[in-house]
Amino acid sequence: MSTSLHGCDSNKQVTIGCIVLVNNIFKVNAEFLRITTSPLQSKFMWQLDHFSDKLLKVFKIKGGLKGHKIKEARAISDLFENIHIKRGCILRSIAIYLNEDPDSFFKEYQASASEDAKRDMANTVMGIYTLQRDVDGQPEDVGIVIEGNIVMDNLGSVIVGFVMLLGLIYALDLSFPDNLKHTFEFMQKVVMNLDGHKLNGKIESLKIKKFD
pLDDT > 70? residue 8: no
Segment (H or E) for 168: helix 158-172
* Per-residue pLDDT, 23: 57
- What does the alpha-carbon distance between residue 78 and residue 55 come to, in Å, rounded to a whole number? 16
- pTM for the whole structure: 0.86
- What does the alpha-carbon distance between residue 139 and residue 130 come to, in Å, rounded to a whole number? 6
Q: Confidence band (pLDDT; 50, 70, 90) for 208?
A: confident
What's the pLDDT tens digit per position in 12-45?
443 554 544 445 899 999 999 999 999 999 999 9
* Per-residue pLDDT, 206: 86
- What does the alpha-carbon distance between residue 105 and residue 121 come to, in Å, rounded to a whole number? 11
More confident residue, 11 or 205: 205
pLDDT > 60? residue 6: no
- Domain ranges in the chain are 1-36+106-175, 38-105+177-212
- What does the alpha-carbon distance between residue 151 and residue 168 come to, in Å, rounded to a whole number? 9
Spatial CA neighbour of 180 closest among 124, 100, 108, 126: 100
- What does the alpha-carbon distance between residue 91 and residue 184 come to, in Å, rounded to a whole number? 10
Least reliable range by pLDDT among 20-29, 82-91, 155-164, 175-184: 20-29
- What does the alpha-carbon distance between residue 175 and residue 62 come to, in Å, rounded to a whole number? 30
Which of 108-117, 135-144, 173-182, 191-200: highest mean pLDDT?
173-182
Q: What is the DSSP string of 86-148?
A: HHHHHHHHHHHHTT--GGGTEEEEEGGGHHHHHHHHHT-SEEEEEEE-TTT--EEEEEEEETT
CA distance to 20, 72, 186, per residue, from 194 (Å): 27, 30, 10
What's the pLDDT tens digit per position in 38-54?
999 999 999 999 999 99
Least reliable range by pLDDT among 45-49, 173-177, 203-207: 203-207
